[in-house]
Chains A and B, each alone.
Chain A
Amino acid sequence: MANLRVPAMLRSSVGGERVVNADGATLRELIEDVEKRHPGFAGQLLETDGAQRRFVNIYINDEDVRYLKGLDTPVDAGAVVSILPAVAGGR
């Protein structure tokens, strides 16, 4: 079981929750697990071909999964998974 920290921008896709629990051996399985309970969630992170969106970062603990094994990165029990979409606001 890992904890997914959901940023404000995406919380509406998980019923407003800040943190959701998810099961899975890899990041892909984790996302699929959340998608079962919150249909539409995966579409916030992934393109239609299943690839990770290039403007949405996902971190396992503090590591950007793009620099690990992407969606196939293993997720240990108790890991904290953070989602960070690009934002541009400065005003």
Chain B
Amino acid sequence: MSSTANNVNGTTSSSNGTVNGTARGAALTLDQARRYARHIILPEVGSVGQRKLLAAKVLLIGAGGLGSPAALYLAAAGVGTLGIVDYDTVDLSNLHRQIIHGHHNIGRPKVDSVRERLADVNPDVEVVTFNEPISSANALDIIRDFDVVVNGSDNFPTRYLVNDACYLLGKPLVDGTLFRFEGRANVFLPGQGCYRCLFPAPPPPGAVPSCAEAGVLGAMCGVIGTIQAVETVKLLLDLGEPLVNRLLLFDSLTMEFREVKIPRDPDCPLCGDNPTIHELIDYEAFCGAPVTALG
């Protein structure tokens, strides 16, 4: 599978997507034409775009607050393959915001809960699960076959790991974060800046509280996770202006959206002019903290 990142960058196209605007995937069935009718009627999507989505492969890092709405909307949109990386189990304290999981799933692996729910949302979607921690040992293998990565992790080692792996593999990364009543979202395209350009170094362990420590408004996850789904669909269909080189800031208390710029750092050790990082590193050592649960 060739990378949709290349589509985004306008240099080539997906081997199972389109070439010169002609869909190469299977023709839509009658049921699919009905299911996706409100997509297909959009001139910017159409039958060709819908077939692109059905041929696309998107990986979600974490099936939690951000991963839940993102997975639901991407599945409903007909993204043909959704990968889910999460080794956590569903806990009662997840359910005020992780809307993909139900009460009856408490105690079950999140990836099983996601697989069941998405099969009901859209049987067109193949769900590929990774019930394991993502690490330097497996990240490249997990990410390699996907077109776009959606980040819903909740710790710094995983954020730097996923950033580096996506850059090294040339994959677009749709990022999102939450904190109390505030959220952020942006897109990193390889060669146009990365998470290290935004935050050159992680905070010392314990300096920044997690959502578990600081709390998060449940519906905030829906706002940011849904923005991530929108950005992913835009990337897959090469639509509009993705959140590249700009960080979207949302404050739910003032219901205010703002943006700040994310320039590419020419001195970035990963994506700069003279990079020093050419392979994945030890991210726990880099961040001085163990990787905790995802999503």
A binds B: yes
Binding site for B on A (CB under 8 A): 7-9, 18, 53-55, 57, 59, 62-64, 66-67, 82, 84-91
Nearest chain A CB to B40 CB, angstrom units:
32
Closest to B64 in A: A91
Residue interface bits B80-108, CB-to-A below 8 A is 1, else 0: 00000000000000100110000000000
Closest to A11 in B: B180
The answer to whether B262 and A91 touch across the interface, beta carbons within 8 angstroms, is no
Nearest chain B CB to A43 CB, angstrom units:
11
Residue from B64, B198, B214 in contact with A90 in the complex, judged by beta carbons closer than 8 Å: B64
Residue from A7, A62, A86 in contact with B199 in the complex, judged by beta carbons closer than 8 Å: A86
The answer to whether A87 and B178 touch across the interface, beta carbons within 8 angstroms, is yes
The answer to whether B65 and A62 touch across the interface, beta carbons within 8 angstroms, is no
Closest to B68 in A: A91
Residue from B154, B159, B180, B198 in contact with A91 in the complex, judged by beta carbons closer than 8 Å: B154
Q: Which residues of A contact B180 (CB under 8 A)?
A: 8-9
**Contacts A88-B177, A90-B177, A91-B295; A67 near B210 (Cβ below 8 A):** no
Q: Which residues of A contact B184 (CB under 8 A)?
A: 84, 87
The answer to whether A8 and B181 touch across the interface, beta carbons within 8 angstroms, is yes
Residue interface bits B41-80, CB-to-A below 8 A is 1, else 0: 0000000000000000000001011110000000000000
The answer to whether A9 and B152 touch across the interface, beta carbons within 8 angstroms, is no
Closest to B61 in A: A90
**Contacts A82-B260, A84-B260; A89 near B199 (Cβ below 8 A):** no
A-B contact count (CB 8 A): 111
Is B151 among interface residues, defined by CB-CB distance under 8 A? yes
The answer to whether B62 and A89 touch across the interface, beta carbons within 8 angstroms, is no
The answer to whether B152 and A86 touch across the interface, beta carbons within 8 angstroms, is no
Q: How far is the CA of A64 from the CA of B200 in the complex (A)?
A: 12
Residue from A64, A82, A86 in contact with B208 in the complex, judged by beta carbons closer than 8 Å: A86
Is B8 among interface residues, defined by CB-CB distance under 8 A? no
The answer to whether A90 and B203 touch across the interface, beta carbons within 8 angstroms, is no
Q: How far is the CA of A62 from the CA of B202 in the complex (A)?
A: 22
Nearest chain B CB to A10 CB, angstrom units:
11
The answer to whether A54 and B211 touch across the interface, beta carbons within 8 angstroms, is no
Q: How far is the CA of A62 from the CA of B9 in the complex (A)?
A: 25
Q: Which residues of B contact A55 (CB under 8 A)?
A: 199-203, 207-208
Nearest chain B CB to A81 CB, angstrom units:
11
Nearest chain A CB to B254 CB, angstrom units:
8
Q: Which residues of A contact B211 (CB under 8 A)?
A: 89-91
Residue from A8, A66, A88 in contact with B156 in the complex, judged by beta carbons closer than 8 Å: A88
Q: How far is the CA of A7 from the CA of B214 in the complex (A)?
A: 13
